Amino acid sequence: MPDGRIISTSDDKTIKIWDINTGAIIHQYDGHSDAVYAVDLMKNGNLVTGGRDGYVCVWDTQLDRQILKFKAHNSFINALAILMDGSIATGSADSSIKIWNS
């Protein structure tokens, strides 16, 4: 993240934001039903995640809550990127790539 924090995703179904200087967890987001494999940061500071459950979640980092969740693929999402126009690209083990309007 631009402010010196780092983001991690995990097999424990969580997304965590860490303080790089202290090693402390600043925020933890729970909402996936299986491991989380992919994350990217939107221009407005929101996080977008994808995981083994095939869902994409959008997290408001100012309000510390999930603001959107949708089933994107029938298999796990192993790649995710925010494109220049703000749309979300996802890649999956189902052999598809999809682009979603944000």
Q: 38-85 pLDDT, tens per residue?
A: 999 999 999 999 999 999 999 999 999 999 999 999 999 999 999 999
CATH assignment at residue 38: 2.40.128.630
Number of folded domains in the chain?
Answer: 1
pLDDT of residue 102 exceeding 80, the answer is: no
Domain that holds residue 28: 5-100
Q: Which residue has the higher pLDDT, 59 or 1?
A: 59
Nearest-CA neighbor of 4 among 15, 12, 17? 17
CA distances from 38 to 21, 22, 63 (A): 24, 24, 21
Average of per-residue pLDDT across 83-98? 96
Helix, strand or coil, per DSSP, at residue 38: strand
Average of per-residue pLDDT across 29-44? 95
pTM of full prediction above 0.95? no
Burial class for 84, CB neighbours closer than 10 Å (0-12, 13-18, 19+)? exposed
